C-alpha cells in the first residue's frame, strides 16, 4: 500500500494549484494555511472544500503575533504567493514595485521559509511568472536558492505552459521547487493531448453552475469588431483566424485600414470608435504604441486566462465573452466549484494556477517522495518543458553554483 502523502496549502488563493495537488496525492490537505490579507482570495477554495464538500478544513494564519501555529508537520507545502513583481503585465518602473527587488517577492520567500521551518515539508513548491526562469528573475532565484542551501535543500525551476498539460490555454509559468535532497531530482517532460478552444468549452452542459454569468455582455459592440463585420460581411472571428491575427484592432492595422475605420466610425456616429481610432492614429504618428483592448480571437487555444483576456476574448461560437463557468473550465476547475461573488470577483480566476498543470507538477513531487525520480548531480536545476531542455548550474570549487554565469 502506497504511503499517504501529507500536504498543506500556504496562500491557496482561489485554489487551482491546491486542487491539482489533491488530484495528484489522492487526499485533501491536513489544514489550510495563509497570511493576513489573503482571506478574500482564499475564500473561494475554502468555500469549495468546507461548504460544497463539507470537509471541515481548518484555516490557520501564520502571521507572527497572532498566536496561531501549524497543526502538524507535512510532507509537502504548496503555495501561490503573489507574482506581480515579475509579471509582464506589471507596468511599474521602479524596483520597489517591479522586478526581482520588489517587496512582493517576499511572500515567495516566506512560503519557502515557513514551509520548511514551521511545517517541516520535504518539498515546497510555488508557482510564479515565466520571468522567474530568466535573467530578469535571477535575483529572486538567488534568494530562493540561498533559502534552500541554508537548510540543506536543492532547488528546481521548471518552466512550462498549460497547453502542454491538456488545456487549450497558452499560460506560460515557472514553478520553483525546493527539495529535501542534496541534489535536485529530474522531473519528467509533458506534452499531453488537448481539445481545441471551441471543443473544450463545448464540454460544459447548459445550466451548469454560474454558466449564466457573462463576463462581458457588450463584447460584440466593440468598434473594430463591428467595422470588420461591415467591411467583410463575414464573421470577424473567421477573418482573424484565417490570417492568424489575435485581435480585431491588429487586423485593421495590419491591413492598412486604420484611417478607413476612423472614417467609418465618424460616418456611423460610433463615438467610441472615433475616440479609439483617433488615439491610435495620434500615437502611431508619434512613433508610440497603444494598449490593445479590442476583441481578441483565438482558434486552437487561447492566451492566458488573465483579467483583460477574460473581458476582451470572444467565445469561439457565441457573440459574447466567456461566462464565469467557461473561464473556470479553462482553468480545469471542477463543475461544482463556485466563484464566490460572481462577476465582481472575476479577476480572482486570473490569480490562479490551472488544475491540470498543478496536478502534473505535484505528480512529480509524489514520485520524488516515493523515490521514483532520478537525481541530478546539481543543487540548482532549471528545466524548460517548452524545449525539453535541462540547464545545470556550473558548480564552483566550493560546490556553490555560479549563478551569474548560469544566467548569462
Checking if the pLDDT of 90 tops 50, the result is no
Q: How confident is the model at residue 295, as a pLDDT? A: 98
Whole-number Å distance between alpha carbons of 361 and 385: 11
Those residues whose C-beta lies under 8 Å from the C-beta of residue 93, and which sit 6 or more positions away, are: none
Those residues whose C-beta lies under 8 Å from the C-beta of residue 403, and which sit 6 or more positions away, are: 138, 141, 142, 145, 380, 393
Checking if the pLDDT of 380 tops 50, the result is yes
Q: How confident is the model at residue 399, as a pLDDT? A: 66
Checking if the pLDDT of 291 tops 50, the result is yes
**pLDDT tens, residue by residue, 304-358:** 999 899 999 999 999 999 999 999 999 999 999 999 999 999 999 999 999 999 9
Which grid cell sits at 26? 489522492
Handedness of CA 251, 257, 258, 264 (dihedral sign): negative
**pLDDT tens, residue by residue, 199-242:** 999 999 999 999 999 999 999 999 999 999 999 999 999 999 99
62-to-15, 21, 71, 118, 238 alpha-carbon distances in Å: 18, 21, 11, 9, 51
User: Taking a C-beta distance cutoff of 8 angstroms, is the pair 168, 197 a contact?
Assistant: yes
Checking if the pLDDT of 98 tops 60, the result is no
Q: How confident is the model at residue 398, as a pLDDT? A: 63
Place of cell 532520478: 374
Which grid cell sits at 134? 530568466
DSSP, residue by residue, 237-254: HHHHHHTT--BHHHHHHH
Compare 17 and 392 and report the one with higher pLDDT. 17
User: Taking a C-beta distance cutoff of 8 angstroms, is the pair 115, 10 a contact?
Assistant: yes
**pLDDT tens, residue by residue, 156-170:** 999 999 999 999 999
pLDDT band at 69 (very low <50, low <70, confident <90, very high): confident
Q: How confident is the model at residue 89, as a pLDDT? A: 43
Which DSSP symbol is given to 325?
A: H
Query: Average pLDDT, stretch 95-120?
Result: 80
Q: How confident is the model at residue 67, as a pLDDT? A: 64
CB-based burial label for 149 (10 Å; 0-12, 13-18, 19+): middle
pTM over 0.75: yes
Q: How confident is the model at residue 145, as a pLDDT? A: 96
Checking if the pLDDT of 397 tops 90, the result is no
How many Å separate Cα 214 from the centre of its chain?
21
Q: How confident is the model at residue 97, as a pLDDT? A: 47
Which DSSP symbol is given to 50?
A: I
User: Taking a C-beta distance cutoff of 8 angstroms, is the pair 183, 376 a contact?
Assistant: yes
Query: Average pLDDT, stretch 4-29?
Result: 98
Whole-number Å distance between alpha carbons of 265 and 271: 7
**pLDDT tens, residue by residue, 171-195:** 999 999 999 999 999 999 999 999 9
pLDDT band at 83 (very low <50, low <70, confident <90, very high): confident
Q: How confident is the model at residue 105, as a pLDDT? A: 80
Checking if the pLDDT of 400 tops 80, the result is no
Q: How confident is the model at residue 185, as a pLDDT? A: 97
Mean pLDDT, rounded, of the chain: 93
Q: How confident is the model at residue 403, as a pLDDT? A: 79
User: Taking a C-beta distance cutoff of 8 angstroms, is the pair 60, 33 a contact?
Assistant: yes
Checking if the pLDDT of 88 tops 80, the result is no
302-303/389-392 β-pairing:
unpaired
Those residues whose C-beta lies under 8 Å from the C-beta of residue 103, and which sit 6 or more positions away, are: 85, 96
CA-based R_g, the chain, Å: 23
Domains of the chain: 7-195+353-406 (3.40.50.150), 214-322 (no CATH)
**pLDDT tens, residue by residue, 29-53:** 999 999 999 999 999 999 999 999 9
Which grid cell sits at 169? 490555454
**H-assigned helices in 132-185:** 138-150
Query: Average pLDDT, stretch 148-154?
Result: 96
Checking if the pLDDT of 91 tops 70, the result is no
User: Taking a C-beta distance cutoff of 8 angstroms, is the pair 11, 38 a contact?
Assistant: yes
Q: Is 234 left (phi over 0), alpha (psi -120 to 50) or beta?
A: beta
Whole-number Å distance between alpha carbons of 17 and 12: 7
User: Taking a C-beta distance cutoff of 8 angstroms, is the pair 261, 252 a contact?
Assistant: yes
Whole-number Å distance between alpha carbons of 122 and 229: 57
Amino acid at each position: 500500500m502506497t504511503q499517504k502523502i501529507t500536504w498543506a496549502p500556504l496562500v491557496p488563493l482561489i485554489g487551482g494549484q491546491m486542487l491539482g495537488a489533491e488530484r495528484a496525492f489522492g487526499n485533501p490537505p491536513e489544514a489550510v494555511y495563509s497570511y493576513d490579507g489573503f482571506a478574500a482570495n482564499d475564500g473561494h477554495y475554502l468555500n469549495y472544500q468546507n461548504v460544497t464538500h463539507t470537509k471541515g478544513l481548518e484555516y490557520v494564519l501564520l502571521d507572527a503575533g497572532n498566536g496561531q501555529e501549524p497543526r502538524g508537520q507535512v510532507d509537502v507545502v504548496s503555495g501561490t504567493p503573489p507574482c506581480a513583481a515579475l509579471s509582464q503585465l506589471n507596468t511599474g518602473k521602479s524596483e520597489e514595485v517591479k522586478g526581482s527587488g520588489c517587496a512582493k517577492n517576499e511572500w515567495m520567500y516566506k512560503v519557502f521559509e515557513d514551509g520548511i521551518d514551521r511545517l517541516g515539508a520535504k518539498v515546497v513548491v510555488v508557482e510564479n511568472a515565466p520571468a522567474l526562469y530568466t535573467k530578469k528573475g535571477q535575483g529572486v532565484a538567488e534568494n530562493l536558492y540561498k533559502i534552500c542551501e541554508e537548510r540543506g535543500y536543492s532547488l528546481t525551476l521548471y518552466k512550462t505552459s498549460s497547453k502542454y498539460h491538456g488545456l487549450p490555454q497558452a499560460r506560460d509559468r515557472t514553478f520553483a521547487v525546493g527539495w529535501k535532497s542534496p541534489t535536485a531530482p529530474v522531473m519528467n517532460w509533458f506534452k499531453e493531448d488537448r481539445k481545441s478552444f471551441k471543443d473544450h468549452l463545448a464540454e460544459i452542459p447548459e445550466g451548469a453552475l454560474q454558466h449564466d454569468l457573462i463576463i462581458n455582455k457588450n463584447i460584440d459592440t466593440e468598434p473594430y469588431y463591428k467595422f470588420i463585420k461591415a467591411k467583410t460581411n463575414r464573421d470577424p472571428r473567421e477573418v482573424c483566424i484565417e490570417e492568424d491575427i489575435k485581435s480585431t484592432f491588429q487586423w485593421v492595422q495590419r491591413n492598412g485600414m486604420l484611417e478607413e475605420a476612423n472614417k467609418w466610425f465618424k460616418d456611423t456616429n460610433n463615438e467610441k470608435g472615433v475616440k479609439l481610432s483617433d488615439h491610435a492614429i495620434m500615437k502611431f504618428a508619434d512613433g508610440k504604441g497603444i494598449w490593445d483592448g479590442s476583441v481578441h480571437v483565438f482558434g486552437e487555444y487561447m492566451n492566458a486566462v488573465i483579467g483583460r483576456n477574460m473581458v476582451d476574448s470572444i467565445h469561439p461560437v457565441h457573440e459574447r465573452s466567456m461566462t464565469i463557468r467557461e473561464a473556470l473550465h479553462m482553468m480545469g476547475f471542477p463543475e461544482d466549484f463556485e466563484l464566490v461573488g460572481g462577476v465582481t470577483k472575476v479577476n480572482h480566476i486570473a490569480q490562479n494556477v490551472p488544475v491540470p498543470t498543478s496536478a502534473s507538477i505535484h505528480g512529480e513531487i509524489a514520485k520524488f517522495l516515493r523515490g521514483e525520480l532520478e537525481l541530478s548531480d546539481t543543487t540548482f536545476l532549471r528545466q524548460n518543458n517548452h524545449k525539453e531542455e535541462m540547464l545545470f548550474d556550473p558548480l564552483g570549487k566550493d560546490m556553490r553554483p555560479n549563478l551569474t554565469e548560469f544566467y548569462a
